């Protein structure tokens, strides 16, 4: 399937998420879900943290700065 897709079946709130050839799941903690993965809220925070880290890495690379690692919590 092209683009991004999201599918929720009958297994509580377990949701399959896909983009290109990648597939992950999202879920809710017990007792609502089965706690198989991060929640949608946690995925949002993961996306924001990833964006910040990658942006800082790109900026440091372009400036020639010796940046060993970036950590966002």
Q: What angle do CA 9, 15, 18 make, to 5 degrees?
A: 115
Task: Give the pLDDT confidence score for residue 11 in this predicted structure.
Answer: 80
pLDDT (average), residues 37-51: 95
- 3-state class of 19 per DSSP? strand
The span from the CA of 63 to the CA of 24, in Å, is: 34
Taking the CA atoms of residue 13, residue 14, residue 19 and residue 21 in that order, the dihedral angle to the nearest 10 degrees is: -170
Q: Does the reported pTM lie above 0.95? A: no
Query: In terms of Cα–Cα distance, which of 24, 26, 23 is closest to 39?
Result: 26
């Amino acid at each position: 399937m092209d683009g991004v897709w999201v599918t929720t079946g009958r297994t509580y709130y377990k949701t399959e998420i896909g983009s290109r050839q990648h597939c992950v799941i999202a879920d809710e903690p017990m007792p609502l879900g089965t706690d198989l993965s991060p929640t949608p809220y946690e995925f949002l925070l993961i996306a924001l943290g990833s964006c910040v880290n990658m942006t800082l890495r790109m900026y440091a690379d372009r400036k020639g700065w010796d940046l060993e690692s970036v950590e966002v919590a």
